[in-house]
Structure 1
Amino acid sequence: MEDVSIFWFRRDLRLEDNHGLFQALKEAKNVIPLFIFDTNILDKLENKADARVEFIHSQISEIENELSKKGSSLLVKTGDPETIFKELLTAYKIQAVYTNRDYEPYANSRDEKVGRLLNQNKIPFQRFKDQLIFEPGEILNGSGEFYKVFTPFSKTWLSKFDPAKVEEYKPMHWKNLLRTSTFQLPTLQEIGFEKSSISIPANSVNEAIISHYNDTRDFSAKNGTSRLGVHLRFGTISIRKLAIKASGLNETFLNELIWREFYMMILAFNPHVVDQAFKPAYDRIPWRNNEEEFQAWCEGKTGYPIVDAGMRELNSTGYMHNRVRMVTASFLTKHLLIDWRWGEAYFAEKLLDYELASNNGGWQWAAGTGTDAQPYFRVFNPSSQQDKFDKNWKYIKKWIPEINSDKYPKPIVDHKFARQRAIDTYKSALNQ
């Protein structure tokens, strides 16, 4: 059997500035690049035309094309990662496995299983920091504990961040790739999926948009956001390059990247937030969970134009403007008193840029149940949000063509009544 080492792609689907790949090519010989379509994840996806799976497939196809130019190939497997590594152990004499760290609960348990298997076979399992500037545990308060509030976290983050000292990892040792062209890339259909009608935005950094981000980001009709979330999610763009660029262009945009790291840190130290409130007292809230009202929210038929436009944008494109995400989430949890977990799950199913930590953090913020959340008595007024951020109804008219006709539904609930009901419900539950 041939001596090889493996670099395992996960949420880092690029060859450029890839930390784990850099280390593998620097230290090892006959490196096999590996990607696994993880059926533990894919089997839970109900939509077999999921644009995210198609995007992953297109990205690994690009990686394969680049590797073929270097005389190598990408090994692609479909199944359970632990089982696949057992199979690889019988096919190759593996010297080491390299990868980049992931911080979600499932990723941690997956890596523990694979790590145990490799350790039993005396094979090093080397993991590197790649998808964050500062990992959970690197930004701590004066007592050595994780921050529960964003502002002091961000101040410490910024005090430690020096763009001039951020290392970029440019692989130069391509000769250490395994020389082979024998690996075959499975088709999208062979892994059980099909093409989607939803397109993915480009991963190019629009400096003009980032430069004016603080002025334009809240206005839903403007092209004022980067649309890079999906690329950060799957690592098709380097967080290091983006943070360096943002630091010289716009503090508000850089702050959004810090929020992303804050929520990853919160999830890493508090895995219970996946299905419980960060603040335990908030698990006492008696949600109404009216299924008909939830369906109206999902379909964009609540009678509140800014909410409905956002939901229709999401259903049609896999994207929703960030300001509108806050409004729709607040409406579901406060106006309708529907469990934030219902909304979070719906976003998880639909969002191209779905990332567990940020999605969970955003929903718990809106519901008032999370860390650094808006207070429960603060209830977004959809009409005033609409007047402030889409006063000419450009965004609303784009997504609700029937807005001024009898076909558009009447409001599902009165704002003043719903606001008071939410405040009373929360107050009563929290005072138990």
Structure 2
Amino acid sequence: MPRDGKCVIHWFRRDLRLADNTALSRASASGLPVVPVHILSEWKGEHSWTGSNRQQFLCDCLAELSSSLDAISGNLILRKGDPIRELEKLAKETGASAIYLNKDPDPHGKKTEELLRAFCQRSGIDFHTFDDVALHHPSEVLTQAGAPYKVFTPYSRNWLGLEKPAPVAKPSALNTPRGIRSLELPKVSHWKLDAPSADLIRAGEKAARLRMRRAIRERLADYEKDRDFPARDGTSRLSQDLRFGLISIRTLYAESMAARSEAKPAGKKGIDVFIKELAWREFYFAILHHFPEVLDVEFNPDWRGLWWAEPGKQFEAWKEGRTGFPIVDAGMRELLATGFMHNRVRMITAMFLTKDLHIDWRLGESFFMQHLTDGEIASNNGGWQWSAGTGADAAPYFRIQNPWSQAARYDADGAYIKRWVPELASVDAKKLHTPPKDGGSVAPGYPAPIVDHKAERERTLEIFKRHRAKRG
């Protein structure tokens, strides 16, 4: 039987905000004092799926969250270690009658939720979980036969036609009991990481909401025509805010649609394109939900066991932004300097690694996750498998982007390249879009291209054809 508790617990995970937070709102509506808790992981040193950029961003988010909770009579409790063990301890310490949380879309988080549910059942504690990270759970968007979609376009048609959930109320007071043991706010040294050298975007719910309002006011109307050009401020720049739950997807959708209702026809089209990008995010959530094996193997079984080159000096050159391909190097240097990379350039750099260098997409996937502040497992995996030609709704293996022509099309005046590769600042833009003759360099002091794109394109086609023939 459920116990008559003195309070309830809300477990903050990837929902580090007060506004439009489903689980927090429901916990507050219980009428009992709320104990908000965040549990720090205990891994130390290098990690395959995160790094100092994202952990620093997390630290800054937690600092602001703590301050925001204080303003509504809350108190952020910090613990570290195994979440089941720590929540069990906290429930016993506080006499909590219920635990509230928003569901995690990733396999590890789902496994943790099932273990926590079992503990609560054994202990007579109510267990409340909510779909909060997406507008639609993967089980809501299925084919007429009840199967998951593997192609985006029919998925998006279904997704767009569904009624969207409305934002929920922000709690006015949590009345967290005092005297509950808590750790100090963390620093990246907690994970034995050095402070990041990247110039990170400002963290926290307040900054995220300002970015959201600015994006809706200044960028979404022109989103269709500006989003693919990395030198322009044409994207929303909200990816890290959605990843950490600093803004709610419901609020973002509702405010975007409100702006659409007042926009001119061209502006409506731009906002529609942006909304479809939100659908892409949820498509990849659905792929990971229905096919969790994509984190380990190719989504398309036809390409499992595909040959990949051993990583070596070329992989190091790619990571450091010194491949001799200006648009590739600009993207990698932007990532290292800021913890962010423009989405068009993510595709270019990923396809270059997999199709020009023939290096396993899993290595690039992990490197991005270690450096991206907005690293989202589902979207990152989907993007890498798309670029490699192995994923859901992926580009066919024979569609191989040419980094030179991509630069000419999306950075015609070289502004993006020159910003991130300063040794090319005085080079004529046309030279940044054409392979140098005789294997030379685009400019003195800049490396010569480490491969010939035309030759490597043919090699990629042969690798895929040979693999297909071997499989029969």
TM-score bracket, normalised by the shorter chain, equals over 0.9
Q: Which amino acid in the other structure matches residue 286 of structure 2?
A: M
Determine the structure 2 residue equivalent to 1:220. Answer: 230
TM-score (norm. length: structure 1): 0.94
**Is the deviation greater in 240-249 or in 306-315?**
240-249
Q: Which amino acid in the other structure matches residue 201 of structure 2?
A: I
SS in 1 for 2:96: strand
Q: Which amino acid in the other structure matches residue 423 of structure 2?
A: E
Unaligned runs of 5+ in 2: 261-267, 428-442
Q: Provide closer, same or farther for how the CA distance between residues 188 and 88 of structure 1 changes in structure 2, counting only shifts above 3 A.
A: closer
1:15-414 pair list within 5 angstroms: 15-39=18-42, 44-45=46-47, 50-162=52-164, 166-172=165-171, 174=173, 177-180=175-178, 184=182, 186-189=184-187, 191-192=190-191, 195-197=195-197, 198-201=199-202, 202-203=207-208, 204-205=211-212, 206=215, 207-247=217-257, 248=260, 250-403=271-424, 404=427, 405-414=443-452
Shift in Å, 1:94: 2.0
1:151-198 deviation digits (Å, cap 9, x = unpaired): 000001111145xxx321113462x53242765551434734564343
SS in 2 for 1:212: helix
Q: Which amino acid in the other structure matches residue 314 of structure 1?
A: L
SS in 2 for 1:386: helix
Shift in Å, 1:20: 0.5
Q: Give % identity.
A: 40
Retained in 1: the 8 A contact 2:284–2:378? yes
Q: Which amino acid in the other structure matches residue 292 of structure 2?
A: P
Q: Which amino acid in the other structure matches residue 132 of structure 2?
A: D
Distance, in Å, in 1 between the alignment partners of 2:460 and 2:19 is: 49
**Is the deviation greater in 89-98 or in 254-263?**
89-98
1:192-222 deviation digits (Å, cap 9, x = unpaired): 4564343224422222111111110111111
Retained in 2: the 8 A contact 1:54–1:188? no
Retained in 2: the 8 A contact 1:307–1:382? yes
TM-score (norm. length: structure 2): 0.86
1:92-111 deviation digits (Å, cap 9, x = unpaired): 22201000011101101111
Shift in Å, 1:225: 0.9
Retained in 1: the 8 A contact 2:63–2:185? no
Retained in 1: the 8 A contact 2:50–2:375? no
**Is the deviation greater in 98-107 or in 60-69?**
60-69
SS in 2 for 1:225: coil
1:388-423 deviation digits (Å, cap 9, x = unpaired): 010111111111122353211111111110100001
**Is the deviation greater in 104-113 or in 239-248?**
239-248
Retained in 1: the 8 A contact 2:50–2:370? no
Determine the structure 2 residue equivalent to 1:423. Answer: 461
Retained in 2: the 8 A contact 1:73–1:181? no
Q: Which amino acid in the other structure matches residue 317 of structure 1?
A: T
Retained in 2: the 8 A contact 1:32–1:75? yes
Q: Which amino acid in the other structure matches residue 95 of structure 1?
A: S
Report the number of matched residues: 427
Q: Which amino acid in the other structure matches residue 240 of structure 2?
A: V
Q: Provide closer, same or farther for how the CA distance between residues 88 and 154 of structure 1 changes in structure 2, counting only shifts above 3 A.
A: same
Unaligned runs of 5+ in 1: none
Q: CA RMSD in A?
A: 2.0
1:311-338 deviation digits (Å, cap 9, x = unpaired): 1111111111110000111111001111
SS in 2 for 1:137: helix
